[in-house]
Structure 1
Amino acid sequence: MENILLIFICLFVGLMLQRVRQLPAQAHKVLNLFVIYVSLPALALYYIPKIVLGPALLYPLGVAWIGFGFSFLFFRTLGQWLKWPRRLTGCLIIVSGLGNTSFVGFPVIQALYGEQGLQTAIIVDQPGSFVVMATLGIITAMVFSGNKPDLRTISMKILIFPPFVAFVLAAVMNLLNTDFPTLLQQSLQKLGATVTPIALVSVGLQLTFDVKSRHWRFLSLGLLFKLFLTPALIFILYRCILGEKGMAIDVSVMEAAMAPMITGAIVASGYGLKPKLSSMMIGIGIPLSFLTLCFWHWILSVA
């Protein structure tokens, strides 16, 4: 219960810090960099060597790939039918197709499912959401913005991204059945624990609400897709069609139901794919997702 309370306290702190004039306007970027360069690599290095490999891991691994593919088919088809501008279609594909499986996902999953659930969430995020964002997400952004995909640039972005480097190192350690010394493990665990407060304060710093925006119709469609249709697809596929149950499946569905990914919105904005709509998807989607996540947690508990 205290972990759930911590989520809302950190969001509130971030919102209040928006009113502090002494705080730099780009303070959230500094916090994001700390999470990306320190907290997330520490989590990967602490948990992944301890994960027991098995077929069940394919389910959380597939969440981001299935979700992005579904988003591409859905919004590209709809965009062609309704003759949307390519930049609008590209924005919705990326922002609605990528989930906030780490910044918001990790603290929520840890609060609901504990340390074991967090191990599964890391599989959803590291080889899942991050790799999809850094490959399919960037390629989609380039194509729908009119640029030609640069495979060398994309490859370098993946290979030098700190969480991915840490993930590869941790995966090798897992395969070799080795781990860090106990003292170093404790340090990594404490560094990884900073994900929750720092990431959520950063999210709170970025929350904005523009009631006069013209994007509400597309915002509603994008969030309906991300918060309901994507987790519904994962739930039906994993629980109903394949008949699988257990914590790994529940965490997969919950991660599929997370709000849009902040980094995905940054990628869309960086390529000129409706930056205001991207920001609104984050600003409205994150607080709204706490309500819809309650719905999906209830569905999983009674199904």
Structure 2
Amino acid sequence: MNNFILIFIFLLLGLVLQNVKQIPKNAHKILNWVVIYICLPALALYYIPKIKWDNQLLFSIGVSWIGFIISYFFFNYLGNKKGWPRKLTGCLIICSGLGNTSFLGFPIIEALYGEEGMKTAIIVDQPGSFVVLSTLAVLVATAYSKGNLNSFQIAKKIAFFPPFVTFCIACLMNVFKFDFYEWGQLLFKSIGSVVTPLALLSVGLQLRFEKRSMHWEFLGLGLFYKLIATPAIIFFLYVIVLNQHSKAIQVAVLESAMAPMITACILSSTYGLKPRLSSMMIGFGIPLSFITLIFWAVLMRFI
């Protein structure tokens, strides 16, 4: 319960700080940088070396890949059928295809499932969401914008993306059964522990509610896919078809139901793929996700 209270406190604090003139307008970018380049790599280096490989991990890894690939085919089909601009299609693919599995996912999963649930959440996020973001999402952003990055430049961006680099290092540590000394583990755990307040504060600073917009139809469609269709697909595949009922599966389904990933929406905006719609996906998606997540969290208690 205390974790849920903290979620709303830091979200509210971020909203309040939007109106404080002394706070730089790019404060959220600084927080995002700290979370992405320091906190998330620290969490990967702490958790991944300790994970014992199990085929169940494939379910966790598959969440983001399945969600994004289906998003690509779904919105690409609709875009071609309805004659949407390519930038609109690209925006919906990226913003609806990736979930906020770390910024919101970590505190919510920790509140519901504790440290054991966090191990699964890390797998959903690191080899899942962030690898998809660093590879497929960058490819889509380039293809659907006027960007002219070549294959080498794209590969370079992926290869030197810090979370991806530390994920690879952590995986090698796991394979060779190597872990840091106790003081090193404590250091990484301490650094990673601030991801929740910093990430939620960043979310609060970025929340925008645009009442007048031409994007309402597309906003509704994108959020329906992200908050309803994606977890329904994962639930159907994992629980109904494959008959899986472990806590790791519960965490995987809940992670698939998270609001749109902030970093994905920033990527979309950076490439000129409907920046206002990208912002709305965050601004409206996060509050709405708290409502839809209640449904999925209750449902998970019955599987």
Name the structure 1 match of 2:267: 267
Name the structure 1 match of 2:240: 240
Identity %: 57
| TM norm structure 2 | 0.97
What is the identity, as a one-letter code, of the residue corresponding to 1:269? S
Cα separation, 1, equivalents of 2:145 and 2:102: 27
Map 1:180-199 → 2, pairs under 5 A = 180-199=180-199
CA distances 1:44-79 after superposition (whole Å, capped 9, x unpaired): 111111111110000010011100111011111111
Map 1:148-227 → 2, pairs under 5 A = 148=148, 150-227=150-227
Cα separation, 1, equivalents of 2:288 and 2:177: 41
Q: Specify the SS of the correspondent of 2:301.
A: helix
Q: Specify the SS of the correspondent of 1:208.
A: coil
CA distances 1:70-92 after superposition (whole Å, capped 9, x unpaired): 10111111111111111111111
Point out where structure 1 has 5 or more consecutive residues left out of the alignment. none
Q: Specify the SS of the correspondent of 1:136.
A: helix
CA contact (8 A) 2:44 2:167 kept: yes
Q: CA deviation at 1:148?
A: 4.5
CA distances 1:187-232 after superposition (whole Å, capped 9, x unpaired): 1111100000000000000001011111111101100000000000
Q: Specify the SS of the correspondent of 1:166.
A: helix
Point out where structure 2 has 5 or more consecutive residues left out of the alignment. none
- Point out the more displaced range, 145-154 or 84-93: 145-154
CA distances 1:13-53 after superposition (whole Å, capped 9, x unpaired): 11111111101110000011111121111111111111111
Name the structure 2 match of 1:25: 25
CA contact (8 A) 1:143 1:149 kept: no
Name the structure 1 match of 2:80: 80
What is the identity, as a one-letter code, of the residue corresponding to 1:224? F
> How many equivalent residue pairs?
303
CA contact (8 A) 2:134 2:161 kept: no
Name the structure 1 match of 2:253: 253
Map 1:100-179 → 2, pairs under 5 A = 100-148=100-148, 150-179=150-179
CA contact (8 A) 1:134 1:154 kept: no
Cα separation, 2, equivalents of 1:118 and 1:65: 19
CA contact (8 A) 1:13 1:201 kept: yes
Name the structure 2 match of 1:40: 40
Cα separation, 2, equivalents of 1:252 and 1:154: 29
Cα separation, 1, equivalents of 2:133 and 2:165: 16
Q: CA deviation at 1:276?
A: 0.3
Name the structure 1 match of 2:68: 68
Cα separation, 1, equivalents of 2:253 and 2:157: 28
CA contact (8 A) 1:47 1:119 kept: yes
CA contact (8 A) 2:44 2:170 kept: yes
Q: Specify the SS of the correspondent of 1:205.
A: helix
What is the identity, as a one-letter code, of the residue corresponding to 1:76? N
What is the identity, as a one-letter code, of the residue corresponding to 1:252? A
Q: CA deviation at 1:145?
A: 1.4
Name the structure 1 match of 2:276: 276
Cα separation, 2, equivalents of 1:175 and 1:8: 39
What is the identity, as a one-letter code, of the residue corresponding to 2:84? W
Cα separation, 2, equivalents of 1:36 and 1:218: 28
Cα separation, 2, equivalents of 1:78 and 1:163: 33
2:55 maps to 1:58: no
Q: CA deviation at 1:302?
A: 2.1
